[in-house]
Amino acid sequence: MSQHNLPNDRGRAINTGDVLAWLLLSVLGVFWLMPFLWMLSSSLKSLAEIYSFPPNLLPEQLQWWNYIDAWNAVPFARFFVNSVIVSVGTTAGVLLTSSMAGYSFSRLRYPGRDKLFLAYLATMMVPFPVLIIPLFILMGRVGLVDTLIGLILPAAFSAWGTFLMRQFMLSIPREVEEAARVDGASYWRIYAQIILPLCKPVIATLGIFTFLGSWNEFLWPLIMISSVQNKTLPLGLTMFQGQAAVETPWQLVMAAATFSILPVLVLFVLGQKYYVRGIATTGVKG
Amino acid sequence: MATSNSVETPVARSRSRGGLARGSAWRGVRRNETLAGYLFLLPNFAGFLVFSLIPIVAAFGLTFTDWNLIGERRFVGLENYRTLLADDLFWQTARNTLYYTFGAVPAGVFIAFWLALLLNRNMRGVVFFRTIFFLPHVTLTVAIALVWAWIYHPELGLINYGLERIGINGPRWLQSTTWAMPAIIVMSNWKGIGYAMLIFLAGLQAIPQDLLEAATIDGATWFQRLRHIVVPLLAPTTFFILVTSFIGAMQAFDQFYVMTQGGPAYSTTTLVMYIFQNGFQWFQMGYAATVAMVLFASIFAITALQWKFGQSWVYGNEGAE
């Protein structure tokens, strides 16, 4: 078993290396989870308990009601719906535009294709914060400031996603579409009915990445959104800060943090395989 | 890049066969394919034109203007750049950004490397541990920043409570000009290390096992194998992680905005936050664009520098193999 691994490759019946690693990792793991555990514990305390010192590690009495209070303190239901709309819209946009461009870059041949692809990759170099000023002005011109569409549109095109799609499509054997070509199928049909169904794994990878990225996005919504009914979840979370004049209701902040992290965790655990694969492939190949 | 050629060969063959048989029809197919190629690119390309290319040109143009978003746009030549050079606040935010970047990235990459080594084994429960260390990376930055703001709370926070238990009077963390930045660096590394760790793991798993086994048979110690096989073979991975982490750190914003709002006394105002403040709080669009251009140039320069050094470093080691 352990033969395949670096740190301890002298196989022994009882592997002391593994035992040590287990112990070390357990200690580190508990330490690493501490902020999450503290968030959970704090989210279930009463306000009085939050403001007592020294703090109890666990709540005296579980205040489940905090979650409902936090949910109603600011319109979180609205923020959730907005976040879902923006994340789903962005993901759909990225998947469509990236897979189309990836198809073009990988399976169609025309003059200048590879040069165009290189120029394309160069756009990945432009950091988003550099674009916020002109993008905001542009959004003002077309009347999309303070709209959800204004959040989706600029994010719906991804050079990285195109790169990912292209790399995957290159690995699909040419024979797959040969028969369809001979039958005179249109390129769109080949793309939609033959290539895309074969791309499910990479679609899952790109989809999860895009969704999580969009769900977490903060800077752009912060600039664009001014009215409460258009806020996304991250913006909503910050509303606690300015609100309380005297004492920040930390138990509610922690409850809100918990329920905004939850959907992301569920998605991550469900799609972990694809997420990890995405990091592994693009990470190593750069 | 190399892969594109390998795919083309069978097509080219079948093409020329068809071409011979059908003569001029072949050219029609070809033109058709060119058209289709561009059409499939169109949605993405239009998006890039409108949302990346034109804005970056516009941003450059804006640096020569003075504009408050509502009033008249005034051409001021190089005025913004002159202001920038004399702007103490700009230099402070630039220093803060460098402090953050060089404080967070090397330490984070170092820890991620050892964590990956520790997790690179066939052991019961190892996937569970990987998930634990990776979890912070996928969670909402804003939520995490709020949790850490609570942990760093000077009177009620977990950290100062722990410090008090061992007899240390903890600082006021996020409200201290000395400690706010280190506090945010720790939080950011806690959040980001899992990502670097996962890339390291992928790199580690690509190292040929027979190489390590051969070295073991030759009597190489664990440390020798690490130093002479693992570290050199991992150089491209390390390089990639360093470059992406540097680029990411230079653009840090979310946790700063939530935890300190750039304070106290601008001690945690990063360049991106300074762009944000100039543009959307003080409405100096021209000046904000100028700072953005400096950020762009710095990221570009750091990347180019790392490529220059990284190239010899990475390939030098590969040659030795």
pLDDT digits (tens, 9 = 90+) for B101-131: 999 999 999 999 999 999 888 777 888 888 8
The Cα A14–Cα A10 span in angstroms is 11
Per the structure, the complete domain to which residue B134 belongs is given by 79-320
Model confidence at A243, pLDDT cuts 50, 70, 90, reads: low
What is the number of H-type helices and E-type strands within chain A?
Answer: 15, 0
The nearest CA of chain A is from the CA of B120 a distance in Å of 7
Mean pLDDT calculated for residue range B264-276: 94
- The total domain count for chain B is 2
Q: Name the residue in chain B with its Cα closest to that of A235.
A: B142
CA angle A104, A105, A109 (to 5 degrees): 75
The Cα A253–Cα B150 span in angstroms is 9
pLDDT at residue number B311 = 62
Give the ipTM: 0.85
Q: Name the residue in chain A with its Cα closest to that of B30.
A: A110
Between residues A276 and B176, which one has the greater pLDDT? B176
Cβ distance of A104 and B251 shorter than 8 Å? no
Mutant choice from B56, B131, B142 vs A, greatest count of A C-beta within 10 A: B142
Interacting residues of B128 by C-beta distance below 8 A, sequence separation 6+? none
B203 inside domain: yes
pLDDT digits (tens, 9 = 90+) for A113-151: 989 888 888 777 788 899 999 999 999 999 999 999 999
Q: Residue B260 pLDDT more than 60?
A: yes
Last residue of a domain, one of B11, B31, B62: B62
The nearest CA of chain B is from the CA of A186 a distance in Å of 9
Coil vs helix vs strand at B66 = strand
Q: Name the residue in chain B with its Cα closest to that of A99.
A: B40
Model confidence at B187, pLDDT cuts 50, 70, 90, reads: very high
Chain B CB contacts of A7 below 8 Å = 117-118, 120-121, 222
pLDDT at residue number B5 = 39
B25 inside domain: yes
Mutant choice from A37, A100, A133 vs B, greatest count of B C-beta within 10 A: A133
Q: Residue A102 pLDDT more than 50?
A: yes
Mean pLDDT calculated for residue range B155-184: 90
Cβ distance of A218 and B138 shorter than 8 Å? no
For residue A153, give the nearest of B106, B50, B77 by alpha carbon.
B50
Chain B CB contacts of A154 below 8 Å = 51
Residues B94 and B233 in one domain: yes
> Is residue A99 within 8 Å of A91, Cβ to Cβ?
no
Model confidence at B27, pLDDT cuts 50, 70, 90, reads: low
What is the number of H-type helices and E-type strands within chain B?
Answer: 16, 2
Cβ distance of B150 and A129 shorter than 8 Å? no
> Is residue A235 within 8 Å of A221, Cβ to Cβ?
yes
> Exposure of B43 by Cβ count < 10 A (0-12 exposed, 13-18 middle, 19+ buried)?
middle
- Segments making up each domain of chain A, as ranges: 2-65, 69-285
Cβ distance of A113 and B37 shorter than 8 Å? yes
Residues B51 and B156 in one domain: no
| B174's tokens | 């996020």
Residues B118 and B196 in one domain: yes
> Is residue A231 within 8 Å of A225, Cβ to Cβ?
yes
Nearest-CB residue to B296 (from A116, A127, A159): A127
Residues B167 and B298 in one domain: yes
Mean pLDDT calculated for residue range B280-294: 93
Cβ distance of A38 and B38 shorter than 8 Å? no
Query: The domain that contains B111 carries what CATH number?
Result: 1.10.3720.10
Coil vs helix vs strand at B65 = strand
Nearest-CB residue to B122 (from A4, A132, A269): A4
The nearest CA of chain B is from the CA of A38 a distance in Å of 8
Beta strands in chain B (DSSP E): 65-66, 74-75
> Is residue A168 within 8 Å of A123, Cβ to Cβ?
no
Residues B305 and B198 in one domain: yes
Cβ distance of B280 and A136 shorter than 8 Å? yes
The Cα B273–Cα B252 span in angstroms is 8
The CB density around residue B248, as the number of other CB atoms within 10 Å, is: 17
Q: Name the residue in chain A with its Cα closest to that of B153.
A: A250
What does the longest C-alpha to C-alpha distance in chain B come to? 89
B73 inside domain: no
CATH number for the region A69-285 comes to 1.10.3720.10
Cβ distance of A104 and B41 shorter than 8 Å? yes
Cβ distance of B123 and A22 shorter than 8 Å? yes
Residues B181 and B153 in one domain: yes
Cβ distance of B237 and A260 shorter than 8 Å? no
B71 inside domain: no
Q: Name the residue in chain A with its Cα closest to that of B58.
A: A134
Cβ distance of A133 and B62 shorter than 8 Å? yes
The Cα B282–Cα B78 span in angstroms is 20
Between residues A119 and A152, which one has the greater pLDDT? A152
> Is residue B147 within 8 Å of B141, Cβ to Cβ?
no
β-bridge mates for residue B65, sequence order: B75
Residues B127 and B246 in one domain: yes
B72 inside domain: no
Cβ distance of B147 and A54 shorter than 8 Å? no
Between residues B40 and A183, which one has the greater pLDDT? B40
Find where tokens 């899952």 sit.
A204
The Cα A29–Cα B194 span in angstroms is 12
Nearest-CB residue to B142 (from A5, A18, A238): A238
Residues B236 and B311 in one domain: yes
Mutant choice from B6, B32, B40 vs A, greatest count of A C-beta within 10 A: B40
CA distances from residue B143 to A51, A237, B159, B193 in whole angstroms, order as listed: 20, 7, 18, 17
Chain A CB contacts of B53 below 8 Å = 123
Mean pLDDT calculated for residue range A142-162: 93
pLDDT at residue number B23 = 46
